[in-house]
Each structure stands twice: as C-alpha cells, then as structure tokens.
C-alpha cells in the first residue's frame, strides 16, 4: 500500500538566533515540519473503528436506496385537498422488507408501515392516527402536501457521493453510516506506534519493586503509555534506562525498530546528568527547543535513525502538559488525522492570580457546579496529585494578566486532549 516519505533529519532544526520560543511559534514550527508518516492499509469496515481514513469513503449505494415511508399510516398519490378526504383501501400492505406487490390506483390508498418502500402510485403517507377506517375505506382531513411523511431515495447520501473525508477518525456513528451505504472495507492509516522511554538513576520501573529513600517509582512511563493509548495510537513500552549513554542508546535503537515516534521523559535539559539531550546532541540530530511555557520549558526535538524523538521534561506535571500541548497535535498529524487544536471554552474564574509576562501558563483545573473554573491550590510541578484532582487545564496567555473571581479564562477539558 501507499508509503509516506520519511521525515527529514533536519526537520526540527531551529534558525540561527532563536532563543525562547512562544508556545504558538513552537506549535507552528511543529506543524510545518511534520507530515503523515503512517502507511495505508485496507481493513473491513466492521473492524475500522478508531482508524483514520486515508482515502475518502464513497457511498456504494444511496441511503435510503428507495423512496420509503417515514411513519406508519396509509400511502396514496398526493396531494390531498383541504377538508375531508375519503379513499378506498386496496387489499394488502407494504412493510419494511415486505414490499407491496402491485400498483396503487389513483384516488386509492394502501396500508404502509415505517421503512416500507413506496409502491408504484404512492408518494404521500398520512399518519394512521389521523385516519378513520370503516368498510374498506379511510377518511382523513386535509390538506396534505405531496410527499408528506415520505423519504426520498438518496436524501441522506446519494450513491457515489463522498460520505466521509480522508483524515476522519472513524467512530461508532461513522461505522453505521458506512454500513448503510454498502461500504464493506476502507483504506485507513496504520495506527501510529509511539515508543515511551523513561530515564534516570532515581527511577524504579514499577511499584511492585522495592525502592530506597533516594529512589522513586516511575510515574511518567505509565502515564504516557496510557495517554498514547487514549489518543488511539499503539503504545510501545521501551522501559526505563539508567543515566548511561549505552543504555539510553540501546533503548532508542529499540524504539527506532519498533515505533514510528519516540517519547522520552527526563534528561532533556542541559545539566550534567541530562544524558538524553547529550546523546542526541552528539549524534548531530538534537534541536533543543526552549519554550516559554509553564510548567515545562525544555523540549528536546531530534531524529534517531530516522525516527522523531520528543524529549519531555522529567517532572510528571511538566511531562504531561508538554505531551498534551505539543505531542498530541503532532501525533494526530503524523497519524493522518490532521493537526488538531484542543477545543476550549471561556468560563469565569473561581480563583485569584497575578500572572507575570513572558510565558504561557497551564493551571490544573476543574469546573465547579456553577460552571466556574477552580485551580489546584499549589502550582508546584512536583504535585502529581494535582493532575489526578484536575479535569482539565486553564490556559493563561503569554502577557501579564490579573485574574480575579469572575474574570473570563480559557478552560480546556482533558477530553479535548483525548485524555479520558
């Protein structure tokens, strides 16, 4: 099937003189540098939920395929005049899957049920509750326009028309539509495979393992693996690597073999123990993006053996925020679903804050019953409990702002980032 071109090794390179980047600039550069990297495959429609269409899905048959009744009642050739209308009722009936055999003469009516094909001579249906029936006749009061209570063939989707566009991620209603249109199989992108690697000598891989006082259990890798899964990508667990270049290089090599893109956490800054960034820099593929964002700031962007690497901060709060703000739209684009900006909305603040200029800030937040947004009482980026407490983020602009109760703020629910 169709294979997309690889990313350039210099796709993340920054121009000379660029220092701190505003969030919007970083997002724009990511969007410009990336493209779809997942190949195309054909799968049965019934197995395509969650997949991204690589080619628009075309209606193989009109929906509905034939004119049919929208209600239970009596069908005839309309219109019906104002005042009383009396019609002879022909023998037989039309039901869904049981068409009426024959033609209904002008001025006569036939019993018809919802979904039944309109017999020849019928284009209008009167509701049964509007009719009186006696001695083989029906009577009802008009007027009734021609075509009332009837569906035209193809009024939903005509045959040969595009039902869903390329780049659309298929949901349960989409599967219903495609099945109704006779689409037995679709061309979709293979799901993006995302490798997740955590680093650090202080990290213990799982809470089932003992940890000394100077050690901590890995929170980032499980969090990011679940985030990747919620984004309808395939998580590839690359485990945990100690702060040793050979161990990190081996993990990145495994990621390059098994994944389309790699997320790392920890070691993305420029300190003595930031081995991820040092290793990538020595390989000549690192572009250290210093982004004006809180929490966050350092974001290592690199290519490793042709595979893009997103180096997230080691702090769990910063790692999640940077993954939501930067990795989530980038992964959507690379998976064929296009660049997706999270949909937030304006709500009144239920907190106070004097924000300094210079950085975009994301506060852990949730909505109160009155629709106002409250924020976690501490902005400390080590407070993982705030991520669990929150149901979304409040986004504050780059410039200085004074927030008081009632001030309009932008709230982005976790669901808008596919975090469920």
More confident residue, 243 or 348: 348
For residue 284, the model assigns a pLDDT of 61
Mean pLDDT of 24-42: 94
For residue 269, the model assigns a pLDDT of 53
High-pLDDT (> 90) share of the chain, %:
76
Mean pLDDT of 52-75: 97
Residue 403 backbone dihedrals phi, psi, to 5 degrees: -105, 130
Q: Are 313 and 298 in contact (CB under 8 A)?
A: yes
Q: Copy the structure tokens of residue 326.
A: 């930067």
Q: Are 398 and 358 in contact (CB under 8 A)?
A: yes
Question: Tell me: the pLDDT tens digits for 385-412?
Answer: 999 999 999 999 999 999 999 999 999 9
More confident residue, 17 or 293: 293
Residue 31 CA to residue 373 CA, distance in Å, equals 30
Mean pLDDT of 363-376: 97
Where do the domains of the chain lie, and which CATH numbers do they carry?
20-37+191-334 (3.40.980.10), 42-63+155-189 (3.90.105.10), 68-151 (2.170.190.11), 345-417 (2.40.340.10)
Q: Residue 14: which pLDDT band, with cuts at 50, 70 and 90?
A: low
| Residue corresponding to tokens 């407070």 | 383
For residue 207, the model assigns a pLDDT of 78
| Residue corresponding to tokens 């540098």 | 33
| DSSP per-residue letters across 277-330 | HHHHHHTT-EEEEEE-EES--EEEEEEETTEEEEEE-SSHHHHHHHIIIIIHHH
Mean pLDDT of 327-353: 96
Residue 313 CA to residue 381 CA, distance in Å, equals 11
For residue 381, the model assigns a pLDDT of 75
| DSSP per-residue letters across 371-383 | SPEEE-S---TT-
The model scores a pTM over 0.85? yes
Mean pLDDT of 313-341: 94
Residue 406 CA to residue 394 CA, distance in Å, equals 14
Q: Residue 267: which pLDDT band, with cuts at 50, 70 and 90?
A: low
For residue 202, the model assigns a pLDDT of 83
Question: Tell me: the pLDDT tens digits for 197-224?
Answer: 998 888 777 777 877 788 778 889 999 9
Mean pLDDT of 77-100: 96
For residue 324, the model assigns a pLDDT of 97
Mean pLDDT of 162-191: 97
Query: Within 84-148, where are the H helices?
Result: none
Q: What's the chain's average pLDDT? A: 92
Q: How far is CA 110 from CA 81, 125, 225, 362, in A?
A: 18, 9, 61, 65
Length of the chain counted residue by residue: 420
Cα–chain-centroid distance for residue 294? Answer: 25
For residue 272, the model assigns a pLDDT of 44
Q: Is the dihedral of CA 203, 208, 214, 220 positive or negative?
A: positive
Q: Are 275 and 286 in contact (CB under 8 A)?
A: no
Q: Residue 274: which pLDDT band, with cuts at 50, 70 and 90?
A: low
For residue 242, the model assigns a pLDDT of 85
């Amino acid at each position: 099937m169709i294979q997309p071109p690889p990313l350039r090794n210099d796709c993340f390179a920054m121009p000379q003189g660029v220092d701190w980047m505003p969030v919007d600039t970083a997002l724009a550069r990511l969007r410009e540098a990336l493209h779809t990297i997942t190949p195309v495959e054909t799968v049965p429609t019934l197995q395509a939920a969650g997949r991204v269409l690589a080619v628009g899905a075309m209606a193989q048959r009109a929906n509905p395929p034939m004119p049919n009744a929208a209600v239970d009642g009596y069908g005839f050739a309309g219109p019906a005049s104002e005042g009383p209308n009396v019609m002879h009722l022909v023998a037989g009936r039309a039901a869904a899957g049981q068409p009426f055999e024959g033609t209904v003469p002008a001025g006569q009516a036939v019993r018809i049920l919802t979904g039944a094909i309109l017999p020849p001579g019928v284009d209008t249906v009167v509701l049964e509750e509007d009719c009186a029936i006696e001695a083989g006749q029906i009577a009802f009061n008009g007027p009734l326009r021609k075509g009332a209570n009837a569906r035209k063939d193809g009024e939903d989707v005509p045959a040969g028309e595009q039902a869903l566009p390329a780049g659309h991620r298929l949901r349960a209603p989409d599967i219903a539509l495609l099945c109704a249109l006779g689409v037995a199989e679709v061309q979709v992108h293979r799901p993006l495979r995302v490798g997740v690697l955590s680093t650090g000598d202080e990290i213990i891989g799982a809470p089932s393992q003992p940890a000394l006082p100077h050690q901590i259990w890995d929170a980032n890798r499980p969090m990011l693996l679940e985030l990747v899964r919620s984004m309808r990508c395939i998580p590839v667990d690359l485990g945990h690597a100690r702060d040793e270049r050979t161990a990190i290089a081996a993990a990145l090599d495994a990621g390059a073999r098994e994944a389309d893109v790699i997320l790392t956490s920890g070691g993305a800054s420029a300190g003595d123990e930031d081995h991820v960034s040092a290793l990538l820099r020595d390989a000549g593929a690192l572009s250290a993006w210093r982004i004006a964002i809180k929490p966050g700031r350092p974001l290592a962007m690199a290519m490793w053996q042709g595979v893009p690497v997103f180096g997230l901060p080691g702090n769990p709060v910063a790692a999640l925020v940077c993954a939501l703000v930067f990795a989530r739209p980038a992964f959507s684009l690379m998976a064929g679903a296009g660049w997706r900006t999270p949909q937030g909305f304006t709500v009144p603040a239920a907190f106070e804050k004097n924000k300094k200029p210079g950085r975009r800030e994301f506060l852990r937040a949730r909505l109160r019953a009155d629709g106002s947004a409250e924020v976690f009482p501490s902005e400390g980026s080590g407070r993982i409990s705030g991520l669990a407490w929150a149901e979304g983020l409040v986004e504050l602009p780059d410039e200085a702002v004074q927030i008081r109760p009632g001030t309009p703020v932008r709230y982005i629910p976790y669901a808008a980032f596919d975090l469920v």
